[in-house]
Structure 1
Amino acid sequence: METGFTTYNKSEFIETDTGNKVSRLSLISGSQNIVLGGKTIVHSKCTIRGDLRRAGPSHQAAVLIGRFCSLGEASVLRPPYKTYKGVFSYYPLKIGDHVDIGENSVVEAASIGSHVRIGKNCIIGRFAIIKDCCLIEDNAVVAPNAVIPSFSVVAGGPPAKIVAQLPESTQDVFEAQSKDNYAKFISV
């Protein structure tokens, strides 16, 4: 499936040394606690909450995002939280390589593996774990603490259910698509 070029206004995006393209219209809080692996696109109105992190002397990033990811317009990424023995704490949100998060999706997962597609208007509940090579269909609601096995297609909800399995070639297909999308995201 060949995708067309997506153009953007060069003045709207900041390009980092590692090739990340971050919209000036995105809301990034606590940038010192956010790690972008490189060649990641953060679209306009995307919110990344790096300011929500565990207090204490150890400096652990609140949000870790891999390479060749695309964070859709108006999506929200925030670390999961819980109260344990009366202490309220945030925990890191880890996202692998070649992950595409659709428009208006909210992610509070503990981890999202590599080669994952999350559709538009999805909700990924607190501490959910999505393994490698998964497809989360548009409008899916993944329950908190859910574990989605590799090569799953998930839809519906709440809570979302596994509706199909992906072929073993998924990793290669998703990787090629994410690299192609990045290469075709060009400034005018």
Structure 2
Amino acid sequence: MFDESKFAEVEARARLHAMPPSTPLTTEFAAAFLGYSVATMETMRKTPDGPVYSQPPGDGPNKKVMYQISELLAWMDRNKIGSTTQAMIRAGKAFSTLAGIASEEPYFIDQFGLLWGPVAEATIGTVRDRLETHDVVFLTAIDAATRQWDDPVAHKEHAESVQAALLHASQSIDANVEASELRASMKG
């Protein structure tokens, strides 16, 4: 069944996108423009990865934050993603080079030898809690993929990321060998 509230949300977003690029938007309207929650917009302001915004100078709490439509559009363009693999690389859940899968990283390991994922992906609280019951072992991503994990879903995501990097490297090797052979045949 069609959800009317979703249609109204899309319609409101279309109205916002029809406004001139120089239009300033409050956090609430910027969130609607991007399809995010206000809380997400507030969180993104704490990192350098979110869209730029304006705020009046001076001290004091509760200063109004404004986003210019042109800046929101530019931020959207800078963050376009062409594939799920690219999204995983950006999120740090995939490897883009062989060096990435060949360098050693810390992983949690329990008393049964099961991996519990990379330490770098855990929150500070999780790290603190796990260090009470788990050891840390340094492995390459390839070595980690060949071990058993406590979480089969996380293991599968990790293994697929490693396999994708290896496939990309293999395809690059094949293409460059073929290019070398072609170049050599054109010389002779």
Give TM-score scaled by structure 1 length: 0.24
Query: Which of the pair is proportionally richer in strand?
Result: 1
Give TM-score scaled by structure 2 length: 0.24
Higher gyration radius (CA):
2
Query: Which of the pair is proportionally richer in helix?
Result: 2
